[in-house]
Amino acid sequence: MKPVDVGIYEKDGKYYTLNLIPGQDVYGEELVEEEGFEYREWDPNRSKLCAFLEKEGSIPIQPDMDILYLGAGDGTTASHMSDIVTEGKIFALEVAREPFRNLLSLSKDRRNIFSIMADARNPERYEEIVGKVDFIYQDISQKDQTEIFLKNLRFLKEDSIAIIVVKAKSMDVSRSPEQIYEEVEDKLGKEGYDILLKTDISHRQKDHAMIVIEK
């Protein structure tokens, strides 16, 4: 295994994280043992954060970070974050009952995942649990995804980074993805956030890009 970033490894063109709970896979991913350690394959087709890693070579996550994850689904990506942030916490928010059930059972084994069933449009409902975090990651395919992201940036510490996954077709099917990405960047810029990067991940997810901002 070759280290590519903190807590992330590569072998034969595949990405891996060090399994926090050896012996347990989360979504049927391959488990690989090497020199007494167990690694979980991280599939860029299943996880947009891994598609971002593939494009950029690193992700802005460190082991001691506290993270707010909006739209955590059934925990596929959150489980890899959980392998990485061994000294931090992940507040994983999900509104739908079915994926939340999986997320909840994941958080029983993985003690650094705190699952919250809530609508990300109502941050006041979970502000007492979340407090301030070092990183925000949003993967919510809704028409008002930019407004949802802006509402939740109140939880981000100063000089910290957040990523929004933009699914262009959820916002407007009649305009080109590029126009949508520009509109999102404009809205975030107007609210005073610095746009650090826009990464197109359409090689894995059609009409998706990830925008990285700094507060």
Ligand X SMILES: C[S@@+](CC[C@H](N)C(=O)[O-])C[C@H]1O[C@@H](n2cnc3c(N)ncnc32)[C@H](O)[C@@H]1O
Give CA–CA dist 148/8, Å, rounded: 29
Going by C-alpha positions, the residue among 138, 172, 166, 139 that lies closest to residue 152 is: 138
> According to CB under 6 A, which one of 17, 39, 66, 76 is a site residue for ligand X?
76
Find the part of the chain contacting ligand X (CB under 6 A) among 59-67, 84-92, 113-121, 182-190: 113-121
Alpha helix segments (H runs only) across 72-193: 76-84, 97-109, 127-130, 145-152, 168-171, 177-190
Give CA–CA dist 71/90, Å, rounded: 12
> Residue 189: which residues within 8 A CB-CB, separation 6 or more?
195
- Residue 56 or 119: which CB sits closer to ligand X? 119
Per CB under 6 A, 47 contacts ligand X:
yes
- Residue 60 or 73: which CB sits closer to ligand X? 73
> According to CB under 6 A, which one of 29, 134, 139, 185 is a site residue for ligand X?
139
Nearest distance from C-beta of residue 35 to ligand X, angstroms: 29
**Cα torsion for 79, 84, 87, 90, to the nearest 10°?**
-40
> According to CB under 6 A, which one of 10, 14, 56, 99 is a site residue for ligand X?
99
> Residue 136: which residues within 8 A CB-CB, separation 6 or more?
67, 68, 69, 70, 149, 152, 153, 155, 156, 162, 163
Per CB under 6 A, 140 contacts ligand X:
yes
Find the part of the chain contacting ligand X (CB under 6 A) among 17-25, 56-64, 73-81, 152-160: 73-81
> According to CB under 6 A, which one of 71, 88, 123, 177 is a site residue for ligand X?
71
Q: How many residues bind ligand X (CB under 6 A)?
A: 19
- Residue 47 or 158: which CB sits closer to ligand X? 47
Residues that bind ligand X (CB under 6 A): 47-48, 71-73, 76-77, 93-96, 99, 119-121, 139-142
